[in-house]
Structure 1
């Protein structure tokens, strides 16, 4: 949400020092002060570079220069605890709107998620009042900035998850004994851990490069983010699966936390696009010909 508002604020028309602060800039200040939280109201699996979301449409005007919005957005991440929603809406032209989460006509229905630690909900707008933040190309750029930033941060989280699973597994293999020796001394397990360490190291490099590109405004950011999200998603799933497997019987029990890491890894791999979707996008971004070319 912060990246969306930064982009929207930058795209605001030039103003003098005496002109009022833009809604996007004011919202950024309130978020920085901790007064409220915001969520970008798009489906959680939306891929950066995808078409501008069209689930919500402009349904008319309301009092006070507000606009009415109508539509349903499925599986929105972190919309339940948010104070305001940043809603891309289909119109002539397309625009990005600010909607108060408790406004009339706003309905949030919790959705059961594989990852119990990340809340999802369906958001329905039934003539909900909204204030315009950006319009046209500025709105599309703001939504894309939010998706790129979200995918980049999530890739970094996936690297942390993968590293945590590796650390837990190594510690367990040093403690668990079979045939009077630590099972971590078995060559087959050593090789699996070495492969996993290599995979995580490569994913971490991709994640750091994506973050650097995004921070510097590098035009290579879309390519770097697609690479990072695909590599980090695969690494997180592989590490969580190995964590469950190498913990043996205890790794399959509810009492052990291994299943929580696996659920988070699986769910995170879908958010902002699956690794496969990002690889397909990467091929397009770098102009890689398809198998039939």
Structure 2
């Protein structure tokens, strides 16, 4: 009798899976339920957003010149401590996990809040956490980010996906000066610090650059999603401080993997709001003497959408739990979540616009903000097709055509 084939060691398929000490142990089934702590965190964030960031305020904000509400960010970052959720307590953070961050992103996605949370508290912070935490520069920057006194942006295109090559568009000379250009960087307008992947004389590395440096060019442009500003960033001999890391490509890839997995929770929040708001509207709207939501064809569409949202929640929670526990299956869970949740968010937003009828097509109704966020998130941190191809490789299946 032939011995059964052993499952592939997926920790070898993706470098980020080896970054966590717990990656050597095969975990139990993921915990998809929310804990009491996570429920309390959700309630606190939701109450604050309902009070300070209703849809009308978001529409007003995106029409202005300032991308974020500084007072709202102060309350989120400093008062609630959300900016330092992933930062260890030794560096002034909360010492939480990806599960708590996922809950926050659900709520931020459900309100399409213009904040630098994804760019600063997730992307940049995750890259810094893979650097040498004993280094004074790294520890100091993490402490400032956790306190909310500054924000950071990871200088990679928003479309960058985990598993790709280390970017080579920025070069560092022997004195640490940076030259080059990065396009479509998220949350750069308003950031105080840029964490820049660059190739230097000794190979790939991460560098800290003050965004206010005169040699740094930040060129914002109008993107589809007005609630997440993008900018092209250029460096012309910019003074930079190297951030010591044993493996800069692995640190960058781990940050992209973490952000991609947690982005699924933001997409879940977008989809859940669209479903809830559409159900509410159809339960109030009357046509031909009947409540519109009583029409059988609309019930079927909403039921199908509800099933998609429930499935997206399971995928997003599995990805967050895998990242939180350092599971060797985290790359698989992230690829599954991004392959599925992105499409669900877009479908939910499209249904919301269509089923709201004429009002759903107006600027005054926030449905268009959710559709734009969903479409922008669909290409952020890797398209669904890219993640499906990655998933096929991880589980040793032929890639999709």
| TM-score over 0.5 for the pair | yes
Q: Aligned to 1:261, which of 332, 356, 370?
A: 370
Match of 2:64 in 1: none
| Farther off after superposition, 155-164 or 26-35 | 26-35
Instruction: Answer yes or no: is 1:190 the counterpart of 2:190.
Output: no
| Superposition deviation, residue 273 in structure 1 | 1.1
- Match 2:167 to one of 53, 56, 59: 53
Aligned equivalents of 1:5, 1:265: Cα separation in 2: 28
**SS of match in other structure, 2:157:** coil
Is the 1:60–1:69 contact (alpha carbons within 8 Å) kept by the matching residues of 2? no
The one of 201, 224, 230 aligned to 1:114:
224
Structure 1, unmatched stretches of 5+, are 13-20, 62-66
| Mapped partners of 1:47, 1:245: distance in 2 | 31
Secondary structure at the aligned position of 2:259 is classed as: helix
1:84 equivalenced with 2:198 (yes/no): no
Distance apart, 1:291 and its partner CA: 6.3
Mapped to 1, the partners of 2:341 and 2:132 lie a distance apart of 31
Q: What corresponds to 1:165 in structure 2?
A: 274
Change beyond 3 A, Cα 1:290–1:155: closer
Secondary structure of 1:35's match? coil
Does residue 327 of structure 2 align to residue 218 of structure 1? yes
Conserved? CA contact 1:6–1:25, under 8 Å: no
**CA shift in 2, pair 1:279/1:193, >3 Å:** same
| Corresponding residue for residue 115 of structure 2 | none
Indicate which of 131, 135, 144 corresponds to 2:241.
131
Match of 2:289 in 1: 180
Structure 1 length-normalised TM: 0.91
Distance 2:397 2:282 in 1: 42
| Kept in 2: contact 1:70–1:127 (CA 8 A) | yes
Gaps of 5+ in 2: 1-123
Does 1:5 find its partner at 2:115?
Answer: no
Aligned twin of 2:347: 238
CA shift in 2, pair 1:291/1:104, >3 Å: closer
Question: Quick one: distance in 1 between partners of 2:275 and 2:160?
Answer: 29
- Identify which range, 197-206 or 143-152, moves more after superposition: 143-152
Q: Secondary structure at the match of 1:90?
A: strand
Say whether 1:101 aligns with 2:208: no
Aligned mates of 1:155, 1:279 — CA distance in 2: 14
Q: CA deviation at 1:31?
A: 1.4
In 1, Cα distance between the equivalents of 2:330 and 2:279?
Answer: 34
| Aligned match of 1:75 | 184
Equivalent in 140, 148, 173 of residue 249 of structure 2: 140
Measured after TM superposition, the shift of residue 253 of structure 1 is: 1.6
Task: Quote the RMSD (CA, aligned, Å).
Answer: 1.5
- Distance in 1, Cα, partners of 2:244 & 2:393: 28
Aligned residues: 277
Is the Cα–Cα contact under 8 Å of residues 40 and 146 in structure 1 kept in the other structure?
A: no
